[in-house]
Chain A
Amino acid sequence: MSAAISIRGLRVVRGGREVLHDIDLEVEPGAVTGLLGPSGSGKTTLLRCVVGAQVVAAGMVGVLGRQAGASALRALVGYQTQAPSVYTDLTVAENLAYFGAILGVDRSRETESIEIVGLSGLEQQLASTLSGGELARLSLAAALLNNPKLLVLDEPTVGLDPVLRRDLWETFHALANGGTTLLVSSHVMDEAERCDRLVLIRNGSILALGSPDELRGRTGSESLDDAFLTLVDRVEP
């Protein structure tokens, strides 16, 4: 099967500094791929390249067989930014009604999305009165509305309680089983275990690719945290 995302020689310059160096990456369809790396490693920039929101200096970013940001992709890609990008002066239901109307989805999808992220019962609450975690979930619900073929999620589980985090990861895998490709960033290594495939990124370069088991095996480490450290040491002895 051809890759859902295919990146060749991607370079990005921000504020006069190269923040992504010559990235090559293939993301397989129908799986949950984790983009793991410390804060400031270039995760968000890479995700912005995939959704076509980032000006790139060089390279090719292909998404679902088209160039990233192509207008035909806008109905097929769901994107959750790191900061919850919803209208805090609207209610939960009003936010989803607006994004739903923009995406042209059936009204029933709004209720479904609310259920998936576990915000049922809070429909009439003003977004500004939601907790940080609830706000993040509302933002995720908006990204789920149009059943996208590719879901790009920037740190979707930050600040959520463990039960909810587990539920969301189950949701991600259920979506992947249904054929959706997910690219999820995180800086928490214990989330890496939950991904089908991992992309480890540091200082704007890809450190390693593979499944959690492959990465552990390759480094002879017990945990992914150790694997990450071993990989860093190999590159920067």
Chain B
Amino acid sequence: MSVGRTGATARRVLRQLRHDPRTVGLLLAVPCVLQILVHALFANNPQVFQRLGVPLLGLFPFVTMFIVTSITMLRERTSGTLERLLTTPIARGDLLAGYALAFALVAAMQATLVSVLSFGLLGLESDHRLGVVALAIGNAILGMALGLFASAYARTEFQAVQFMPAFVLPQILLCGLLVPREEMADWLRVLSAFLPLTYAYDALARLSSEVRVGTRFWFDVAVVIGVTILSLALGAATLRRRTP
């Protein structure tokens, strides 16, 4: 791997985004609008917003980066640029790290903006605001890693878009955001234990409700990091220099 090639890749991805201001606008504005909607929806029941606000803030980047990465990577595969890149000296790790760097930056902007809005204007409270932003960035990289892996199994952009409900929606349903995991049927609770978003949500919920986070929080964070590394490795394995 090389720092120069990783940096060049990150710069290239950011330049592509810069030429697409509408996508950047959507990436930054949509989570804010959704957060305002949730706040307005529970205007008569502010504790609900206090419970949902922090996890939502941390999960937006996960969802958007999953979609953005799976589509970008699919385009890279179908346009032939990936085939060209893989005949050059670039290491697969350079390519992945470059993507991770660029999207982490976008996620940081996204999370910062939603944080300022939520904590500043909407009255959301947490003793760990910086921790929430950091976790949001971590979740973005998790979403990117899973999106990258998923893109290997999509032949068309239609399929890639369908991976959003297929991969992401079940995780959001089962992570504990809608129904606490203790209240789920046994088989659902067992199933949710195998889904990475469950741990991402649990960590965020603890940042939202606990004054001093304990070992369970750090266990969650370790799982999120572990799954990210695992899916990046699996994603790298799908970038084949030789294809049939």
Q: What does the 1/0 interface line of B1-28 toward A look like (CB < 8 Å)?
A: 0001100110110011001100000000
Q: Does A52 contact B (CB under 8 A)?
A: yes
Pairwise interchain contact A85-B89, C-beta atoms closer than 8 A: no
A54 to B87, CA, bound (A): 11
A55 touches B244 (CB 8 A): yes
Which of A54, A88, A102: most chain B CB closer than 10 A?
A102
Give bound CA distance, A79 to B85, whole Å: 10
Do the beta carbons of A74 and B89 come within 8 Å of each other?
yes
Interface size counted on chain A using CB atoms at 8 A: 31
Please tell me if the beta carbons of B19 and A126 are within 8 angstroms of each other in the complex: yes
Cα A94 to Cα B18 in complex, Å, equals: 12
Q: Which of A48-69 contact B (CB under 8 A)?
A: 51-55, 69
Between A and B, 21 residue pairs with Cβ closer than 8 Å are A53-B83, A53-B87, A53-B241, A53-B242, A53-B243, A54-B244, A55-B244, A69-B241, A75-B89, A79-B84, A83-B80, A89-B20, A90-B19, A91-B19, A94-B12, A101-B8, A102-B88, A102-B89, A103-B89, A104-B89, A142-B84
User: Which residues of A are interface residues toward B (Cβ below 8 A)?
Assistant: 14, 51-55, 69, 71, 74-75, 77, 79, 81, 83-91, 94, 98-99, 101-104, 126, 142
Binding site for A on B (CB under 8 A): 4-5, 8-9, 11-12, 15-16, 19-20, 79-81, 83-90, 241-244
Seed contacts A53-B241, A54-B242, A83-B79; 11 additional CB < 8 Å A-B pairs = A54-B244, A69-B241, A74-B87, A83-B80, A84-B80, A89-B19, A89-B20, A90-B19, A98-B9, A101-B8, A103-B88
